[in-house]
Structure 1
Amino acid sequence: MCYNVKSIEDVRSLVVASRGLSVLTDPTSLAAKACRRMHELTGVDLSMIALVHDDVNLEIISWVGTEENLSDTVIPRNDGGMGWRCLDREMPVTTGDCAELATTDTVAAAARRAGMQGFAAVPIMLDDHFLGVMYAGISDTRVSPRVTLLLSEFAASLAPLLVNAQRAQLAGEQAVEVERQRIAQDLHDTAGQLLFKISMSARELRQSAHEHEDVIDLSRTIETDAAEASSYLRAAMGRLLPVATALPVTMRRDAAIFGSRTGIATELAVFGTPVAGSPARETVLLAAMREALHNVAKHAGADAVFVSLTYRPNGIGLVVVDDGKGLPPGFELHPIPGRSAGLGLSGLSQKVAGVAGTLDIADNDDGGATVRVFIPWGTR
């Protein structure tokens, strides 16, 4: 690199200050070490480095020369402090009176509390891209041109190293996210499918064992255990995937398994932007879809079923539509006390009501049946 400083000794000092920084691939660690090197290079009383965050804030991440904890100190662009002024002008900004700026400039105020009078802000830039700011403070009233020049040269050396570190950090984060998605997909494709099949088999076993109470009880236990395990699995997937997508992913998996198992063409569509709901609400929605699909397989004689999950401003709606033979004659979702609603829907109706939701089942225009569930956001 070609330096603009005139002193051979200053060139040597710059080379020494930059040595070893290129091996650091974490932006925070790089800035911390660079801040210490800058302090030694210039001999100033206070050194700080702030990096640009979200293009609208500067965040101090390293400092030397004050006992005050400046961690996570944020300087908004609209504050118009020295840091943003030097970035906007693309050149160093200095002052001989920190007290004058202390009322409006967060960093100048911190420098003033540390006993500084003279203060400088130097931009860290690469190809018109703002990376951050180097700050230097002295107890005297004047920051010398030599110090300002050394800071500028060191900032120019640091800029490409910061870019490389930020790229390395981003690549690492992306690699972690890819691995998280792979693990979640494995859970989705293996354990999730197995649990759903166990639950379906338990229901079939219970319905076929009319006079064997011990078998019926065992099938209920298996189905309950499978549902509990599925809930834990969904929670684990929620930690691996964005929380808001855990329910749609689980429903899509179950719909695909149902279609493969029964030969009934099954499609699921999600409308609106997925939003994470309470575990109780999502558990009821998942149970509603499974119960509806189970009834389609057992009673509808359908060739196709369409499931939709709709995220609305006031809640979540689930609709399951089939093209089968419709509801049995005399079907009542809310029969008189002592009479069952049939189709295994009594328990589901209670679950939906337990989260302040609504359940409706009716024949549709295609001759089949439509199940509608709506649960408001206020449910906890």
Structure 2
Amino acid sequence: MTRGVAVGRGSAQVAVVAPGARGAEPGLLRRADAAGQRLFRELVVSRIAWSAVSEASRLVAVDVVAFSVRVAGCDHPQPCHLHHCHDHLEVRAVLGNRGPRLPGLRLADGEGVGGRVLRTGAPVAVRAYGMAPFDPDLVALVTEEEGIRSVVGVPVSFGGEVRGVLHAGLRHGGGVGPAAVEALSRLCTYAGAAMAAARDRARVEEVAALRERRRLARALHDEFGQRLFGIGVTGGLARESAAAGRPDLVAHLAGLERQIAGASAALRATLRALDRPSAPAGALAVKLREDAAAFSARTGVASHLLVLGEPAPIDEAREDLLVRVVQEGLRNVERHARAHEVVVTLAFGRGTVELVVQDDGAGLSPGIGGNGVGLGMLREEVGRLGGDARLARNEDAGCTLRTRLPLG
């Protein structure tokens, strides 16, 4: 059942699907629940988007599935965190498309099916997209380039806020039925909760990184503030002695030399202490976070670090090797992937540590195939420590570099 909200050219109708529409079989809804629960496996927005379109394509019979997220459409410095500026949708994941223009497509509030969903907060269906009252360029993209005849958009919401839209399209006659819409709505309920959890996790990571920076600042200030002050005082006395030609100049210079040597030794000791904090695996997580942050600053590609499981002690050789694996993985993403987001996962198991670098880019390029010189050398080192490293193309998009090492 639908409730019409606008009528386009000819027989086309843009309709908001009534909240009371039902018809899905219990088995379909159970499958939707199971699919939705799987979205919580990786709490990163890009992975949720790809997982959602993959699950939707298996859940209902449609030709094209896309997932768009709410983004800022303002001219403020990005990322803009003002809520009222997030009035656009951007397509982040697509399955079944024929051309290259759907990924990255932006829709303003009220524009197209997605924009109508963003405005109304309810599912919106168009049975004859070619006759819909939308922008002609958008209609041509959907109908002529993609061959799509009917589209339904389902809101991905949490806490009463639309955070994204799941789009489903058919290339044959008719439209997506109410049972399928209900199943997709159930899936989107889980997707909205997963996106909210991903945002919360990102904020927790930001707070943890801020606390770590403050800890480093306090440690450096407490250790070197007084030493540097003393060096400055002694240097001033040496300058005065030199200007006056006093014989105590040599004594002041010797004292300055001792103070500098003491500061240098203290710096080395502080760096060793900071490099290996008391918390197990703390140093490794800090190093990986720094590498990910440097990668994002250099490339503009979003990166995230997840630490899973109970951290366990790691010897220096394995720690250094894992850091180099991440650096090599990020370099490959930068050179070849054309990715929008990268996720680095450090997972501790019983007697093992696993490091995974995932991206949502173009996948393995011809001639690379995981056999690059840098990765090949690292794979040999991992093998000498009893582990393995593999680079493989993901089912949806991008690549995964997975390295597993025994801790013993």
TM score, norm. by length of structure 1 = 0.49
Larger Rg: 1
The structure with higher relative contact order (CA 8 Å, sep 6+) is 2
